[in-house]
Amino acid sequence: MRIRDITIRAGRSLKHAKARTLLTSLAIGVGAFTIVLSLAVGAGGRQYTSDIISSNTNESALYNISIKQDDSSDSSKPKKYTDTQIANYGGYEMVLLNQSDIDKISEVNGVKSVTPYLTVSPKYVTREGQDKYQASVELFHSEVKLEYVAGNADGIENESIIIPDEYREALGFENASDAIGQKIQIYIEKGSSNPLNPEIKAFEYTIVGVNKKPTVAINGGTALQMASSNMKIINDYNLQGTSTYGTYLSASAMVEDGVSTETVKNNLNEAGYEAKTAEDLMGFIFQFIDVLQAILIGFGALAVLTSVFGIINTQYISVLERTQQIGLMKALGMRRRDVGRLFKLEAAWVGFLGGSIGSVLAVVGGTIANPAISKALNIGDVNLIIFEPSSVAMVVVGLIFVSVVSGIMPARKAAKLNPIEALRTE
């Protein structure tokens, strides 16, 4: 008997037990729904993370370059004095970089340029006739894709600055366009001055760009940004006379064209420095997504495992109900192998129906939920649930295979029935 005929026959047999077939298929559908949705959430999370990386970092750059720490020493014992500057952050000590370190990093094979990490917390920022506001100033990175309300980064090197739209409003500009070309003052306190009578100096900068909070961003986009040359001036004034003057927490480096970031990272490691690639910075997010996805798939697998027993039970009942029919088919010349195939194909149909129903419901539900999730998380027009056709197809095929395996024992029982005894069964 041809496979095509057996397949058609299996489909007809299932139609005679519609309610039972539907209930068994829905049990499989629950597992399919959970697995397909979890795969889509994982794909969406990884895509969103990749967008964050591409929008906020440069694949040809290395970040958080710092002096390699010696983890072999016993932290419970007193440490020997060293001339190197050390910063303590919540009990974690970090050796600061100095200019000789910057020069040494620049000479590492594959490094194109090095930029020390600079961040300044001004006393306040203001403009003539306006209130004073607290602010933080960060280094402008050309690879970070800012979303401008007005202006751009052209001329950022010429004592200019980019301000967030929130500061534009606070500083009294009616709209973003009015802020372009205007001047603001950043007041910096000299580090070595007397706290009771601090020396505060005003640095004036021209606004060249107004940016809004990016859709995908590592930071909130609320810091003022300026070029490294201008940052170094106010940073040096802020640290002048202190023990940390001329030191840097870390640095970033651009890699030469055609050179792998991993290669340069290893070269820096050999030179005594630690560095992170763009993917390293977001590695913990990818790990979290993988763990979350594994948990969700685990719940789906439990649902599928439960449905396996349902398939076996359904098929055994079907064999018992159709014992005479099986005996008649064998008496008319149907081979044992074909009888076994009939019940295996019936199980395959159940798996296909369950997988298809669950997958369709997952796709429809995820598509409807996407805008609501994006709105609730305030991440703009970004889909966190992405369905990949290959993944959906793989789930359906996998469930068909599981169903066929589940139907092997009932199929063997049907194939072994004696036709004469089967025909006598009432």
Q: Provide the whole-model pTM.
A: 0.65
Q: What is the mean pLDDT of residues 415-424?
A: 68
Contact indicator for 144, 127 with CB cutoff of 8 Å = no
Contact indicator for 303, 60 with CB cutoff of 8 Å = no
pLDDT of residue 364: 94
User: Does the pLDDT at position 352 exceed 50?
Assistant: yes
pLDDT tens track for 254-263: 899 888 889 9
User: Does the pLDDT at position 266 exceed 80?
Assistant: yes
User: Does the pLDDT at position 332 exceed 70?
Assistant: no
Transcribe 250-302 into DSSP letters.
Answer: -EEEEEPTT--HHHHHHHHHHTTEEEE-HHHHTHHHHHHHHHHHHHHHHHHHH
pLDDT of residue 299: 82
254 bridge partner residues: 61, 113
Query: Residue 271 is encoded by which pair of tokens?
Result: 């030179």
Q: Which range among 77-86, 159-168, 255-264, 285-294 shows the weakest confidence by mean pLDDT?
A: 77-86
pLDDT of residue 403: 86
Q: What is the mean pLDDT of residues 318-347?
A: 74
Q: Which range among 88-92, 172-176, 244-248, 399-403 shows the weakest confidence by mean pLDDT?
A: 88-92
pLDDT tens track for 165-211: 999 999 999 999 999 999 999 999 987 777 778 889 999 999 999 98
User: Does the pLDDT at position 73 exceed 90?
Assistant: no
Helix (H) or strand (E) holding 62: strand 61-67
CA distance 127 to 141: 25
User: Does the pLDDT at position 1 exceed 80?
Assistant: no
pLDDT of residue 220: 47
Contact indicator for 249, 94 with CB cutoff of 8 Å = yes
Instruction: For residue 340, count other CB atoms closer than 10 A to its CB.
Output: 20
User: Does the pLDDT at position 331 exceed 90?
Assistant: no
Share of the chain above pLDDT 90, in %: 24
Higher pLDDT, 192 or 371: 371
Higher pLDDT, 134 or 333: 134
Q: What is the mean pLDDT of residues 47-55?
A: 76
What's the mean per-residue pLDDT of the chain? 82
pLDDT of residue 393: 93
Q: What is the mean pLDDT of residues 255-275?
A: 90
